[in-house]
Structures are given as C-alpha cells and as structure tokens.
Structure 1
Amino acid sequence: MSPENAVRPIGRDPDAFEAFYREHLEAVQRFVARRVSSVHDAADLTAEVFVAAIEASDVTPGGVDPRVWLYAVARRVVANHLRRQARGVRAVARLQGRALLDDDAVERIAARLDDERAARRLLREVADLPRTQREVVELVAVDGLSLVEAAAVLGVSPGAARVRYHRARARLLPSAALREVTS
C-alpha cells in the first residue's frame, strides 16, 4: 500500500491501524510531549490523536501524506486540550483555589527551574514570535517536517510557510548571537 493510501483503511482494518500506529506512535508522542507539561496528559492526548485519526480516516482526501495528515490531527487535538485546560485554570482562579507546597516541593521546583533556564529563554523567544511564525518553527525545527509538509499541516502555501520561517529565524538569530557575545 502506498503511503498516500495508508490513511483510509485504518478506520476499517485493525491490521492496517496497527501498522499505522506502530509507524507513527513515536512521532506523535514527541509532538504531544513538546506541547504539554504533564506525562499523563501526553499519554492521554497521544491516545486521543489516534482515536481522532480513526474517526477521520474515512473523510480524508486521497493522496494525503499520512505523517503530515497525522500532525494536523495531533495539532487539533492538542489545541483543543490546551483550550480546555485554560478554561479550567480560569475557573479555578475564579474560585481562588490554591494548593499549598511544602518546603521540599519548593526546593525541587526551584532546582528544576534553574536547570532549565536556557531552554526557557529560547522557548520564551519562540513564544514571543507571532503565532503564524511560531507554528512553522515548531513544525520544522522541532517536529522535523519540511517546509512543504509544515505548510500542508497549517493549510497555507509552501511560499507562505517559507516566508514565515525566514522571518522567525531573522527574529531569533540576532538574540542568539548577542547571547554568544555576552557569555
């Protein structure tokens, strides 16, 4: 079966789904894990991505690259999760609910934060990018998609994806060069 025809049968054929799942599980896990902070959420969302893939397999247009299609499914599942999570946070804030931390927990968190300072700085800079540029950077630089594949996931032309990626790199590279000089 050609890669372009690998999506449709997964909703009907358990063997096709198993092969599809085994081939794409690791990529989906990496995609999801980079976007959520909880191990449990990552596991649940990975499963949810494959359930959504099964449900959407019959309405998928022919000739679609399975990996690009699955990243688009994963992107929607994660986005929905993050929206639900944000609503929950707002609800908790309205109720003024607070969880108290003991001294050991505070120390562990502080040590972890110190260890991840450089990564947080880079993530902050990426997060400060306009959403359209940030999405392309995540799909290309983090998820390993080509610009053409990222464009397909985002539903834009390859030219638009290239422009967004170029602009994002132009914004990120000067601050990285400045850090090198000042370090």
Structure 2
Amino acid sequence: MAAIAFELSSDEDLVAAWRRGDELAASELVHRHAPALGRYLVALGAASSDVEDILQDAFFRAFRRVESWRGEGSFRGWLFRIGANVLRDRFRQGKGRTVLSLDGHDVAHHADPAAELVASDIEARLSAALLRLPPMQRAVFLLRAQQGMDYNDAARAAGTTPGAARVHYHHAVRQLKEWIQ
C-alpha cells in the first residue's frame, strides 16, 4: 500500500519523506528519474557502459545534499544538473567518452527496409548535428526536446537563466534545421 502512495506522491513530498529518513521515498525518486536522467547523460556524451556508474554517483550526491534543495525549481531539474556535473567531472578526469545516442536505443526496426534506411539516415544526421552544437545549446535542447522540461527547469539543470535557456534553445533549433536539411 505504501508503494502505491509513493507512486502518487509528488517529488516534493518524496524529498520531504527522504529528509525524514524514509528510504522507500528515496528509492521511488530513483525509480522515477533514473531512466530519463540516463538517456540525458548518454545524449550529453556519456558512454552507455558508464551510465549506471554516473547515475549512482549522481543520486549519491543528490541524496547527500538533499538539504540544499530548497524547492525553488523542480527536483528533476536539480537532479539533472547534478547528473550533468558528475558527467563533466568524469570527462575532466578522463573517464568519459563522447558517444551520442538520441534515446539510448538502436534505431527502430521498420517492416520496410527503405523506411529503416531513411530513419537511420535522419538519426545519423541529427546525431552529428547535435554534436556540432555548443555544449549549452545542446544541453538546453535535449532537456526541452528529449526530457520535456519547461524553460525554468531546463535552465536550472543547465546552470543558466530561463531567458538564456530560451535563447539557447531557439538557436539550437535554428542550427539543427539548417544542418539537417
């Protein structure tokens, strides 16, 4: 019964429960956010084989610093920022590799080989174009387009302001359209 209550709880309620020492609340936060955070990290350049370790480090940092989250933005945005910081730290230490996948999965299999070829070509061009974007534009674009975050949460996760996030997003969209056509 408690698991059902946790599934219906907001992130804010789960964080409050975690702060009171409820480990099931922490487990629900991991269950709720790890898949999307993992996809985001891969899109930022994390090797698929390293994502589990990066996620573990990100959640460890988040739970160790849970008192510092003041609820001014979404918990998800705050967590994604921590994940991006862990990834950046790994790159600085030489433990990261640049590998880009839009969703962490292979291209969808189509019954029609021609459709599969077109989908593969589009994904390859988009992946190459994403790598050409400046890091902040790429991060904001992925947070908005792939993770569905609003500008406030994307800004918090990327470490910028909402106004700057809007600008980065629109520049990224314009560049991607130009490069993919």
TM-score, structure 2 normalization: 0.69
The letter of the residue matching 2:27 is E
**Cα pair distance change 1:52/1:9, threshold 3 Å:** farther
Output the CA distance in 2 between the equivalents of 1:62 and 1:140: 20
Displacement after TM superposition at 1:118 (Å) = 4.8
Structure 2 contact 47–96 (Cα < 8 Å) conserved: no
Taking only the aligned residue pairs, the percentage that are identical comes to 28
Q: Deviations over 1:86-134 (max 9, x none)?
A: 699xxxxxxxxxxxxxxxxxxxxxxxxxx96653432222222222222
Matched, 1:3 2:11: yes
Q: Which runs of 5+ in 2 are unaligned?
A: 1-8, 98-118
**2:69 is aligned with 1:60:** yes
Alignment counterpart, residue 175 of structure 2, candidates 156, 168, 171: 171
Q: Kindly tell me the number of residue pairs found equivalent between the two proteins.
A: 150
Partners of 1:136 and 1:75 in 2: how far apart? 12
- Flag the structure with more relative contact order, 1 or 2, with Cα contacts below 8 A and sequence separation at least 6: 2
Moved over 6 A (4+): none
Unaligned ranges ≥5, structure 1: 89-114, 178-183
Counterpart Cα distance in 2 of 1:129 and 1:32: 16
Specify the code of the residue in structure 1 equivalent to 2:143.
Answer: L
> Whose helix proportion is higher, 1 or 2?
1
> Is the contact between residue 68 and residue 150 of structure 1 (CA under 8 Å) also seen in structure 2?
yes
Normalising by structure 1, what TM-score?
0.69
Summarize the Cα distance change of 1:155–1:87 in structure 2 as closer, same or farther, 3 Å threshold.
closer
State how 1:1-183 maps to structure 2 within 5 Å. Answer: 2-10=10-18, 12-34=21-43, 35-39=45-49, 41-85=50-94, 118-177=122-181
Largest Rg, 1 or 2: 1
**RMSD over aligned Cα atoms:** 2.7
Do the aligned partners of 1:8 and 1:58 also contact (CA within 8 Å) in 2? Answer: no
* Contact 2:62 2:82 (8 Å CA) reproduced: yes
